[in-house]
Each structure stands twice: as structure tokens, then as C-alpha cells.
Structure 1
Amino acid sequence: MQNETTNIFGIRAIIEAIESGSTLNKVYLQKGLRGDLFFELDKLIKKNKISVSQVPVEKLDRLSKNSNHQGAVAQISQIDFYDLEQLIEKTKEDNKIPLFLLLDQISDVRNFGAIIRTAECTGVNGIIIQKSGSAPVNAETIKTSAGAAFKVPICRVDHIKDALYLLQASEIKTVAATEKTEDSVFDINFNQPIAIVMGSEHRGVNPSVLKMVDYKAKLPLLGDIGSLNVSVACGAFLYENVRQRTIK
């Protein structure tokens, strides 16, 4: 658990934080702010008796380091990280077909936030990141995730290999997204306990990790550009999982 506080910004992200049960120390709102989403946030603030201050936009600019705060910044305790072994056990106890996402040193916070958002929308049971070399779960990540960072369990491990060993020992198959294969994502059976591995923006999945996974799969690329943005590719893999698990 992280005891330090951080600032998150964006009306939707703050709403999601409140609804998820996170403890907000204080919310700063721009003077004169209006709109349906603002009134929804204001109602939640009053209902949960959260301390609030009406401040000029300049203060919000400082608190958010001039990011797109939408007129709202909140001070919150940083996100708790889950224990991977306990999360695997709980997922199985809930009679779910486990679906995990391993991010092999994705470093861009906006990519990370976008992936978390898609993961929440597609029923991912947990996201696994490496302690070193990975994008932090900071205010920009939370904002880009539209608050989904408060809904999807995130685990940190010393090395992605540690997570792979544990997942495979728990009878969860692993599939890496990589161009270094002839197998298509559409050939993978997602109707089983599975973990998807996505590589970093510049290197892709680490070669040593590729040697460990059960499957490798790529997306068909029909244009001249040889690769997709990692958050887009991740979305394609996750929605192929959704398609297979929901098809009648």
C-alpha cells in the first residue's frame, strides 16, 4: 500500500475514484464551473462529505502541472497494489475464467492509462507491471484511464518472469503479442485461463520473456506501416478475447 498522497485531475477520474471507495483528502474545483458532469461530481462530494475548495483556474494549473484538469483536481492516497498470488486465487474462487494482462516495461504514462481503461472495459482481472522500467501510476495515468485505475487490480512484481512462472504454475496459459511469429491472434484459444503479454513501445516483448510464454501471436497488418501503437494492439487482443468468450 502507498501512504503518500498524489493529485489526480479530470472530473470523470475523480468521480470514478469516489465511486470506487477511495479516500479523497480534498477536492479543488474551478470557480464558476458548470455542466452536467460537474453537478454529478458536486453531488458525490456533498454525499460523501469530502472537503472542497473553490479556487481560480491558475491554482488548478499549478496542481495539475498545466495538464487538462477540466476544472477539477483532487488530493488522494496513491493506489494500492495487489498481491498477485492472492489475486489469482480470488479470481479462481469467484469462478471466473482468469484473464490477466502483463505489461513488459511499457514506459509511456498515456499508453499505460489507455491500456488500463481498455482492460476495465474488457473484464481483465488484473494488470501486472514490473517495479523497474514501467510507467508510474501517477495523476496522468489515472486521468488517461478515465478513473479505471481505481477499478482494475494492479500488481507489481520484481520481474515479469516472476509473474509468468506463477501464472503458469496456476495453470494459466500465456500469450505474447509479437511480430516474431507466423501465428495470428485469431488462432489463439481465449476460452481458457489466459494472460496476455504486451511489450514496451520501442523493444516489444523482451526476448527472454518470449522464450517462456506458451503462445506467440500477431495482428494482421494490411498497410505499409509495420506496427501498431501498443495501447491499440492491446485493445485488439483484448477484444478478440471478448469476442471468443461471448460468441454463441
Structure 2
Amino acid sequence: MENRKHHGVKGGGPKRKFHKPAPKVNPEDFVFGIQSVLELLRSEKDIEKILVHKDSNHEDIETLARQRRVFIQRVPSERLNRITGKNHQGVIAFVSSVNYALLSNVVAEAYEKGKTPLILILDRITDVRNFGAISRTAEACGVDALVIPTRGAAQINSDAMKTSSGALSFIPVCKENDLTLAIEGLQNSGFRVIGCTEKTSDVYSAHELNGPLAIVMGSEEDGISESILRKCDMLGSIPMLGKVGSLNVSVAAGVMLYEVIRQRGEAES
């Protein structure tokens, strides 16, 4: 009898314990110094996050960051010094390469255009190259928006832009403080939500994916979080016929998206 394993995705292959070298940071992706960061906060540019020295007190920066809902992370001086050897004054801000969109606006616009909306939710995808590759496939498949969490997501920097082959210049990205609330909002707007996970025996292609749909892809380490799994209307696994236990998350996202295209194409024919 054929042995069919049904798995979702956890990022691609067995885990290996080793220390990865700190990734190089492109100088174009950040600004440093108190005045430079203050000016950035006063501008209309979107900011990924701000790193401040754990013992410092930058009240003006923290006040503006809270007003703009920018995540602040307190870190030791070694972390800041690894990013730049220049006088950072205990504060570094990472600039987003895209301008974030409001999910409600994206959904409303899709409905107004008479489209059947398709949203891709990325639950803690942290690898920049995975994120870029997913963005490229999503744009090619006509996805209306990518949704990422405020914390625990890949930084949208020059590497992400490069890996996406420019797709991030065309597909809206929405940043949400709480993905479970974002999913509830989509469901209230007529969406069904499917989670791609190994924690089900249901094959992804057995579900009807024709209507307004949101697909959830989980993190490279542990897949979709339990709280988000419980919010999904349906779960789908990708059959694995070989000895490898999971697919890379960018490949799995492509499998899911092209199944939506296949089903919607058949529905229109």
C-alpha cells in the first residue's frame, strides 16, 4: 500500500541546531542617532521597528513611536554595535521598503472592483528570502494583499525587495497588531479562512476555495500558532510522498495559491 503522509509546512526540512551568523544589514535599511530617528518618526515613511539601548531613556522617540504604533525593542549595546560601528547614540530605526496599507481598505477596494478577494496571511514568517519569494508568487497569482504581524515578521528591507523581484512594489502589505482579530474582520466581511498545516488529515485540494478567501501560512519554526488555527474555517495539508517531512514555506504557499487559481478557473469555465 502506498504510504501517503499529509503535511503542511514548517519551513522546510528537519531542524538543525547551529548558530547562524548575524545577517549583514544594508546601510540603506536603517538610520541611527537621536535626531535622525526623530526626523524619521516625524516623516510619513513607514518604520519596521526601533532598537534602543536597554539602559537609555529617549522619551521623545518613545512618545512618537507609540503615537505611530512603531514597535520598540530594548537591546544591549553589542546588538547596536553589530549593526553600525558609527555613533548611533543608543538608537537605530529600521525603515520599511514599502508603505503599509489598511486591510479594510484593500478588502473594500477589491469588492468595489467586483473581484473575488484573495488574501495571504503570514504568521511569523521571519526569513527575509522566504518572505520575498512568497511575495513574488503572491503577486503573480493576483493576491490582493499580504498580511503580517507587527511583531515577529521578516523585515521588509532591500533584501526582501530583491528576492521578490520587485513584486513588493505592486502588492499591498498590511501590518496587524493581532492576526486573530484581522481574521475575525475578514470573516465578518464574507471571507473563509484556510490554514495550511500538517495538523489535519484533510488535503488542501479537497476544500472549495472559490469564494472570498484568506490563506494562512505558518512560521518556519513551528507552523501556524494554535490561536490562529482555532480561528480558521478549514485546515488543509499538502500530501508528502517522499521521506522529507515538510516543504519550504514559500513553496507551500505557491502550491496553495495555484490550487485557488485552478479551482477558480474551473468555476469560470
Q: TM-score, normalised by structure 1?
A: 0.69
Partners of 2:196 and 2:96 in 1: how far apart?
A: 34
Report if aligned partners of 2:100, 2:173 keep a CA contact under 8 Å in 1: yes
Displacement of 1:188: 1.4
Q: How does 1:38-187 map to 2 (within 5 A)?
A: 78-187=97-206
Q: Secondary structure at the match of 2:171?
A: coil
Output the CA distance in 2 between the equivalents of 1:206 and 1:188. Answer: 21
Indicate the residue corresponding to 2:214 in structure 1: 195
Deviation at 1:6, TM superposition (A): 3.9
Partner of residue 14, structure 1: none
Inter-CA distance 226–80: structure 2 relative to 1 (3 Å threshold): same
SS of the counterpart of 2:148? Answer: strand
Q: What letter is aligned with 2:173? A: I
Task: Report 1 or 2 for greater relative contact order, CA contacts < 8 Å, sequence distance ≥ 6.
Answer: 2
Task: Give the whole-Å Cα distance in 2 for the aligned partners of 1:126 and 1:78.
Answer: 16
The 5 A counterparts of 1:207-226 are: 207-226=226-245
Cα distance in 2 for partners of 1:91, 1:191 equals 15
Q: Displacement of 1:241 after TM fit?
A: 0.6
Letter in 2 for 1:212: K
What SS class does the counterpart of residue 110 from structure 1 fall into? helix
Once superposed, which parts of structure 1, at least 4 consecutive aligned residues long, lie more than 2 Å away? Answer: none
1:141-167 CA distance string (max 9 Å, x none):
000000000110000000211210110
- Paired position in structure 2 for 1:39: none
Query: Which whole-Å CA distance do the structure 2 matches of 1:220 and 1:102 have between them?
Result: 21
Q: TM-score, normalised to structure 2's length?
A: 0.64
* C-alpha distance in 2 between matches for 1:125 and 1:111: 19
Change (3 A) 1:184 1:6: same
Cα RMSD of the aligned pairs, angstroms, is 1.7
**Following the alignment from structure 1 to structure 2, what is the Cα–Cα distance between the partners of residues 86 and 151?**
16
CA contact (8 A) 2:132 2:163 kept: yes
